[in-house]
Amino acid sequence: MNVFKKIGSAFAVALMVFSVTAIADDGEKSSQEQSSVAATNPDDANKGNEKSDKEQSKTERTLCMIKPDAVKNHKDKEIEDMIKAAGFKVVAEKEITMTQEQAEEFYKEHKDRPFFKTLVALMTSGPIKAKVLEKENAVKDYRKLMGATDSAKAEKDTIRGKFGTDKTANAVHGSDSPESAEREIKFFFKDGEIAN
């Protein structure tokens, strides 16, 4: 009887050892499988970098001009404060008085529009302050901050709503696309004149 009991206990112990080994093997295998899936899935592998890449690619520059009407009305300081408060970094700036040729060249896309002469007359009537602004989504966000072209229709908390006079003397200019921004920034600034 005792012999049978001993054989039974030995068999039970052997069975337990086998089960524990099988569970350990299984657990090990599944964690190896998981790590090989993680290593071969490029989406997972790049997850940490993805967000910062997207954020970096959104950093843009745009050209801002404080037009002669606003400079004459001494509104340039208040306008710059609004720009900075909205999160833009001013990476270059200069004051110039545009010649007839420069104004016609800068606004050449409007040369056949009825307001072209009035616009060129305004833009050559006194100094302008050109600024390169930098921020994520700078082009779109600065257009929003400027407000509608017609100062009377611009929202009251926008630059044109606060400081514009009419549809031509509307205080500020802003590039309308990243491509325009590149052209317009080059129009006023050499590479070495822009802070990195």
Q: Which residue numbers are catalytic?
A: 173
Task: Identify which range of 16-24, 38-46, 121-129, 169-177 contacts Mg ion by CB under 5 A.
Answer: 169-177
Task: Identify which range of 25-33, 74-82, 124-132, 170-178 contacts Mg ion by CB under 5 A.
Answer: 170-178
Q: What are phi and psi of 155, to 5 degrees?
A: -55, 145
d(CA 23, CA 36): 20
Partner interacting with residue 170 (select from ligand RTP, Mg ion, none; CB below 5-8 Å by kind):
ligand RTP
Q: What are phi and psi of 84, to 5 degrees?
A: -70, -40
The least distance separating Mg ion from the CB of residue 39, rounded to whole angstroms, comes to 50
Partner interacting with residue 115 (select from Mg ion, ligand RTP, none; CB below 5-8 Å by kind):
ligand RTP
Q: Which is nearer to Mg ion, 136 or 176 (CB)?
A: 176
What letters, b where the CB count within 10 A reaches 16 and e where it falls short, cover 25-57? Answer: eeeeeeeeeeeeeeeeeeeeeeeeeeeeeeeee
Residues 6+ apart with CB under 8 A from 14: none
Assess contact for 123 and 98: CB atoms under 8 A: yes
Residues 6+ apart with CB under 8 A from 72: 126
The least distance separating ligand RTP from the CB of residue 96, rounded to whole angstroms, comes to 16
The least distance separating ligand RTP from the CB of residue 132, rounded to whole angstroms, comes to 15
DSSP letter (8 states) at residue 135: E
The least distance separating ligand RTP from the CB of residue 178, rounded to whole angstroms, comes to 15
Which residues in this chain contact ligand RTP in the complex, by CB under 6 A?
110, 115, 119, 149, 167-168, 170, 173-174, 176
d(CA 125, CA 104): 13
Q: Which is nearer to ligand RTP, 158 or 170 (CB)?
A: 170
Q: Which is nearer to ligand RTP, 92 or 154 (CB)?
A: 154
Q: Which is nearer to ligand RTP, 55 or 157 (CB)?
A: 157
Which residues would be at the binding site for Mg ion (CB under 5 A)? 176
